[in-house]
Structure 1
Amino acid sequence: MARQLDLVDFIVGLPMPVAASPQANPLDLLPRRPKAWERMVAHVPAEDVRISISTTWTRVVVEQLREDGCGDQLRANGSIVSHDVPPGLIWPEPCRLILMTATSAARIHKRWCLEEAPGTGLTNTFRFARQQHADRAAVSQQLRLLGEGQS
């Protein structure tokens, strides 16, 4: 005798579409910093973060916060130094500038797509793409070349 499925069994047996996982917060991918600095930059949204890669980076300054005519710097030793920034110097808009190696940026890029940040006045400056899984090919190649220049 054939057994008839009831409605509940039928629904449970239906294949369920895989729910898209929510996008992570790209700020969670950034290096952890001293609490005093984290409090200073807590208000900066992901779209105002810039990642800069330089072959001449001395590693003395690891981050800068540029806003309201002031340039706060986080140094590698954990100290914070403030400077007045002349209007229009490098960035016309406020931003959190993170200095890092190409290898570190590539690790972030694997988890959240980076794109070139236009209009910064500096080359090799990136920002988080609007979509976590955007096309990575061009920036991946650029980061690979920058990494070779830093070795």
Structure 2
Amino acid sequence: MAQQLDLVDFIAGLPMPVAAAPQANPLDLLPRRPTAWERLVAHVPAEDVRISVSSTWTRVVVEQLREDGRGDLLFATGKIRSDDVPPDLIWPEPCRLILMTAASAIRIHERWCLEEAPGTGLTNTFRFAQQQHADRATVSQQLHLLGEEQS
């Protein structure tokens, strides 16, 4: 005798399309900053964020905002200072520059692929890749080498 499936069992047995996981907002991966700074940089899109990893970082300044001939600095103490930026400054584009350790950059890179930011005039500067899950190999290796320099 043929076994008859009821409608619930039939529907439960249908293959379900796998919904693509929504992409996170890469800005959510950045360190939290004082409210005044967060308001100042709130308009900066992810594609204008740069992450700088340096073995000579003093940890005095943790972020910079460069735009419209102005440079704002966020100090580790939470103080914000604004200055006029000379036109010959090595930074050619408006951006939010975040200074961090290699370990912090690696944690971000594990969740959202970073890529080298070309033409910045600074070495070891990265930006968020267009795709959250792009190829991570080259930047992973570079960040791990920077981490060894920092330890």
Query: In the alignment, what sits opposite 1:34?
Result: 34
Mean CA deviation greater in 66-75 or 6-15: 6-15
TM value normalised by structure 1: 0.95
- 1:90-112: per-residue Cα shift (whole Å, max 9, x none)? 22221000000001000000000
Query: In the alignment, what sits opposite 2:133?
Result: 133
Query: In the alignment, what sits opposite 1:124?
Result: 124
For residues 62 and 94 of structure 1, the distance between their equivalents in structure 2, rounded to whole angstroms, comes to: 17
Deviation of 1:3 after TM superposition, in Å, equals 3.8
Mean CA deviation greater in 54-63 or 4-13: 4-13
For residues 17 and 145 of structure 1, the distance between their equivalents in structure 2, rounded to whole angstroms, comes to: 41
Secondary structure (helix, strand or coil) at the match of 2:126 reads strand
Query: In the alignment, what sits opposite 1:4?
Result: 4
Secondary structure (helix, strand or coil) at the match of 2:90 reads coil
Q: What is the one-letter code of the residue matched to 2:15?
A: P
Secondary structure (helix, strand or coil) at the match of 1:33 reads coil
For residues 67 and 108 of structure 2, the distance between their equivalents in structure 1, rounded to whole angstroms, comes to: 25
1:18 aligns with 2:18: yes
Query: In the alignment, what sits opposite 1:62?
Result: 62
Deviation of 1:13 after TM superposition, in Å, equals 1.5
For residues 93 and 52 of structure 2, the distance between their equivalents in structure 1, rounded to whole angstroms, comes to: 16
Structure 2: gaps spanning 5 or more residues = none
Report the aligned-residue RMSD: 1.2
TM value normalised by structure 2: 0.95
Q: What is the one-letter code of the residue matched to 2:110?
A: K
Length, aligned pairs only: 151
1:71 aligns with 2:84: no
Q: What is the one-letter code of the residue matched to 1:122?
A: L
For residues 85 and 124 of structure 2, the distance between their equivalents in structure 1, rounded to whole angstroms, comes to: 21
For residues 138 and 17 of structure 1, the distance between their equivalents in structure 2, rounded to whole angstroms, comes to: 33
1:111 aligns with 2:111: yes
User: How many percent of aligned residue pairs carry the same amino acid?
Assistant: 85
1:93 aligns with 2:93: yes
Deviation of 1:7 after TM superposition, in Å, equals 5.1
- 1:87-132: per-residue Cα shift (whole Å, max 9, x none)? 2412222100000000100000000000000010000000000000
For residues 7 and 89 of structure 1, the distance between their equivalents in structure 2, rounded to whole angstroms, comes to: 69
